[in-house]
Structure 1
Amino acid sequence: MRVLIATDAWRPQINGVVRSLERMFEAAPDFGVTAQMLTPEGFRQVGLPSYPDIRIALASQQQVAKRIAEFGPDHIHIATEGPIGWLARAACLAQKRSFTTSYHTRFPQYVAARWPIPESWSYRFLRRFHAPAAGVMVSTATVEAELREHGFERILRWGRGVDLSLFHPRAASVLDL
């Protein structure tokens, strides 16, 4: 199976979204999946005005559609609601392709804490983004309940699990002395 993962959050960013996607990408071959990342890399980019370390792609729907076609995925997962996410979504809708999305960040609360923008506006924006998806993946029951409360549908729980090669139930020593 070939899976394309479209995301605006990718290296060199260091955050939970990037880390989750990196682990998923690294583990894909273990499940017989050939994965490819569609990221801002390779497109012209600009830094977000209030957060210049986060680079966003300046791409066209045609450029994104071409990258999707070149890989020939069996499934498309759109991980973020940024420019890459919106362009991948538009390409999928134009081609009548099914796709899934994921919701990683409590974006409405983040926006409301930084600017005088009501959470309801952000939720409306996010509902519009996620509405055509075959499923919206979330990591916790709390986030699932929050999205349902705000009118989201087709929510799927996507637990992250524990990598037992990194974490052991009984460490030899808690302090590693």
Structure 2
Amino acid sequence: MSSILIVTDAWHPQINGVVRSLERTALELEKVGVRVEFLSPQVFTTLPCPTYPEIRLSLAHRGMVRKRIDAFACDHLHIATEGPLGLLAASVAKGRGEAFTTSYHTRFPEYLSARLPVPLSWSYNWLRRFHNSGQGCMVATRTLENDLRERGFTNLVRWSRGVDETVFKPFDGSVLPDALEGPIFMYIGRVAVEKNIEAFLKLDLPGTKVVVGDGPQLEALKRDYPKAHFTGAKTGEDLARHYASADVFVFPSLTDTFGNVLLEAMACGVPVAAFPVMGPLDVVGETGAGVLSEDLREACVAALDIPRDHCRQVALNYTWSASAQQFLENARRAHDLVPPRANLVGAM
């Protein structure tokens, strides 16, 4: 397989795990000679998504998407998101009887129910029909796979994640203001209601709570928790240095499917404190690189005693090259499930 088209509604200027995972997977695939193209909202007229204005919803129709797919002339179609472009791309592929894969990045039903009174069953029924229509739905962890299988999802295949150990690594010193009292308990990620950040900020902890990131809940949290330190969004080495400036990385989310930030923190030598839920159970689990507890304060305090070098060694078990190889094998397997004449343009 020499070329792959990835259709995604999540793209720049968003800063999140979906975008980072897709970009890094493409980079690794290109290293082994696979051409990767992206079809994203950047080539269409868009509208801001309600409650998520940085997410752009493409104003496109089936014919427009079909034309773009044909122009790329790739061997395989992968649909990364369940937004307008993803739905249209799936419609094109199904109409032609062509193989395609999808990936399940976000627990959309839980995100939606945190904002609107929409029953989880309604959202999952819709998502199940979408993902079951392809030849493989890629999931990051065993916990997510088991959860979706119990909900009637089929053709589930594993696609784990990696961490760039050359960027996310221990650093000497701190980039935080000297006036901040230690120990430093830090959250990094999108500042939004589904991330459950208030569960962290409400804790009675020694030292200082730090929140790194941007999002729709930022101003409200700054107002309600004036003793916490908010840095805004960080990227690249600056982000890595913020991770490394923490004593404990706190992950209060109850809805993430993986949590790339867990690996990034551990690669920087920072132990994790989290609830025992999907994501932390799979990434941290019983590795000793963090503490999982229904009592998040208890987890935070206990994590202070974890050796930093051990955290990095656990994170190094996850590589982007292995992740990309999984992705490629899933794409190849999908084509074994349909007649060769029905595959996308290009040879296997």
Cα distance change, pair 52–162 in 1 and its aligned pair in 2 (3 A): closer
Partner of 2:172: 176
Q: Counterpart of 1:22 in structure 2: which amino acid?
A: E
Q: Counterpart of 2:85 in structure 1: which amino acid?
A: I
Aligned residues: 172
Partner of 1:35: 36
Shift of 1:165: 3.1
Shift of 1:156: 0.5
Structure 2 unaligned regions, length at least 5: 174-348
* SS of corresponding position for 1:47: strand
Distance 2:29 2:41 in 1: 21
Shift of 1:113: 1.4
Partner of 1:15: 16
Mapping of 1:18-167 within 5 angstroms?
18-167=19-168
Shift of 1:163: 2.9
Distance 2:18 2:26 in 1: 12
Shift of 1:95: 1.6
Q: CA RMSD in A?
A: 1.3
Shift of 1:27: 1.9
Distance 1:131 1:21 in 2: 21
* SS of corresponding position for 2:38: strand
In the superposition, the TM-score normalised over structure 1's length comes to 0.92
Distance 1:102 1:141 in 2: 14
Per-residue Cα deviation, 1:112-156 (whole angstroms, up to 9, x for no partner) = 111111111010010111111110001111111110110001100
Distance 1:28 1:176 in 2: 33
Larger Rg over CA atoms: 2
Shift of 1:41: 1.1
What is the identity percentage for the equivalent residue pairs of Structure 1 and Structure 2?
A: 52
Shift of 1:167: 4.4
Distance 1:20 1:99 in 2: 19
Q: Which moved more, 1:100-109 or 1:157-166?
A: 157-166
Shift of 1:50: 2.1
Shift of 1:48: 1.0
Q: Counterpart of 1:8 in structure 2: which amino acid?
A: D
Distance 1:167 1:8 in 2: 27
Distance 1:161 1:133 in 2: 25
Distance 2:171 2:94 in 1: 52
